[in-house]
Amino acid sequence: MKKIIFIIFCAMAWYLFAALYISPKEGFENWFYGFIVYLIGMAWVLPFLLSKDMFTPYAGPTLTTAPKYKWIRIHFFIIGLFISLSATLFLT
């Protein structure tokens, strides 16, 4: 439980830090839409980091931590990380 809270806190702190100092956002709409896109990406990043089942809409079954899903989970992790970072840094 402590690990989940710590990772979620770090993820939200990263978004706020990057959105305030690295790539400042102007207006409520940019903050809101950037945060929504950030959460979409984090839906694949957090389950990978926490070794939980990963939900993948329209891509087949839920990806468990079984070894046969290892590379698919890494693939979705990289996509989610790219979405989250681009929402934080480039969506202004």
Identify the pLDDT of residue 89.
81
37 token code pair: 């896109």
pLDDT per residue over 3-15, tens digit each?
A: 888 888 988 888 8
Identify the pLDDT of residue 3.
83
Structural domain of residue 35, as residue ranges? Answer: 2-89
Measured in residues, the chain has a length of 92
CB-CB contact of 89 with 22 (8 Å) = yes
Domain count, the chain: 1
d(CA 1, CA 39): 20
This prediction's pTM: 0.80
pLDDT per residue over 26-83, tens digit each?
A: 888 888 888 898 889 998 898 898 888 888 777 777 888 888 889 989 999 999 999 9
Rounded to the nearest integer, the mean pLDDT of the chain is 86
Beta bridge partners of 54: 63
